[in-house]
Amino acid sequence: MEDMQRLVHLDLKGAPPKVEYYEKIFPLMRKWGATGLLIEYEDMFPYWGPLSEISSEHTYSLECIASILRLAEENCLAVIPLVQSIGHFEFVLKHDKFKSIREVPNYPMALCPSNEDSLLIVCMMIDQVMEVHPGIRFFHIGADEVYHLGVCEKCKSRMSEENLSPQQLFLIHVKAVLAHMKSAYPTITCIMWDDMLRHAELPVLISSGLGDMVEPMIWHYLSNFQLPIDIFEKYSKVFPNIWIASAFKGATGANAYVTNIAYHIDNHIVWLNVMAREGSKFKKIQGCAVTGWQRYDHYAVLCELFPQALPSLGICLLTLQQGSFTAEVHTTVSQDLKFLSLIPLNPYQRSPVPPCQFPGSDIYTNMIAYLYLSTNYEEFVNDERVLTWMNDYMMEKRFSNPVHIEPILAQCSIILDSFRKIHSQLEASLKEVFYTHTVEEWLKVFVEPKIKRMSDVIEKGKVQLGNQ
């Protein structure tokens, strides 16, 4: 797998790191065999002019992006920008200015491929991103998970008049985006996610004309292979080159905050086996994007943060480069991240976490400590004693026995103190890597509701004891 590109996916629609963090992690990525970055800016790109309101209030400045690109170049990491072109368009369609190009008026996910403004806006977004990324060789147009196609009146009318299926609407739109790329940037090779192509009949794919315009990136993040059995045979008849996409984080739960490295190792082993079996069908497997999703969509909470998953990234990249997961891979990454012993591969087994020192390691250790504390919390709130003698009904009726309430409150106080301590530790460690809005969001979503619940239990318990 030495000649294959290995891209690290940066999903910036959640928890974008401070620029100085990239300076610390890019050399590690390169050491582990990364050759490039797949940067999904979403609303962190500083669009301008008619597109300015798309950008987040926390967006990277053009100077920040220039710094990221410079750091990437210094570490021999080629940059591939990703701009969504039809689905996952919430960051655009949530704004009043762009609601008119929604496929479904109430839903901001997919744009209408029959609205002429849709293509204009997508191409304008691409042009602005291209302007800031001179000299790149590849560009990713997204185009995955388009859940609403051919449902608006404009699309229905068009399908009827032109005898088109929803799938053909999608293919025609994608081809128009690719035609713009080919015309404006003839040296660029375009990439798209493959999932909207998976169930297309071979004649439809061939007649779409996409074969010489784009290279599909086949994504699959499970630990056992579950894609259609004929997918590689079909794609090989249309596309000379393909890419694949694995995952090092962000694929095991929309609100997961700790990474099960063992799961992602299995995902990469599955892909290595598939490539060995199917690779000869194609002129070339261009490379693998090791994805690390930060939100499942624009409106989802944050999932595993990048620094927490850095050990997983290292192991996955080196496994790809070496062609297998070995004791040497495990040892090398453990030493690179200054673990005193081997990196635990499954934190959910509650094995002791050895001391470590790497960029963001305090986030890693605090997250695992929070995981263990949250397990204690769940055991407490579902404990038979709490459900029997401190349930809401009993508290409302002020019907309780101190012999039961007192030990419950004692245990609750210990858990509450632990949560307050981990809140303080997490706040400090998160601020080292992330901007204030990310720190605030993570703590308010994951930690503070538990602190509030424990505080409420103690308050109610004290009221009960005061009534005795």
Active-site residue set = 145
Q: Which burial class, exposed, middle or buried, applies to 299 when counting CB atoms under 10 A from its CB (0-12, 13-18, 19+)?
A: exposed
Whole-angstrom CA distances from 230 to 119, 192, 233 are 32, 19, 5
Can you tell me the distance from the alpha carbon of 238 to that of 144, in angstroms, rounded to the nearest whole number? 19
Can you tell me the distance from the alpha carbon of 313 to that of 333, in angstroms, rounded to the nearest whole number? 9
146: amino acid identity, one letter:
V
Residues 6+ apart with CB under 8 A from 264: 223, 246, 247, 248, 249, 251, 312, 315, 316
Phi-psi region of 342 (alpha: psi -120 to 50; beta: other; left: phi over 0): beta
Reported as half-sphere exposure (CB side, CA atoms, 13 A), residue 344 has a value of 18
Can you tell me the distance from the alpha carbon of 306 to that of 298, in angstroms, rounded to the nearest whole number? 17
Q: Which residues of 187-212 are buried (b: 16+ CB within 10 A; e: fewer)?
A: ebbbbbbbbbbeebeeeebeebebbe
Can you tell me the distance from the alpha carbon of 98 to that of 81, in angstroms, rounded to the nearest whole number? 22
Q: How many CB atoms lie within 10 A of CB 317?
A: 28
Cα-flanking dihedrals φ and ψ of residue 421, to 5°?
-65, -45
Listed residue (118, 116, 132) closest to 84, CA to CA: 118
Can you tell me the distance from the alpha carbon of 371 to that of 377, in angstroms, rounded to the nearest whole number? 10
Q: How far apart are the first and last CA of the chain?
A: 72
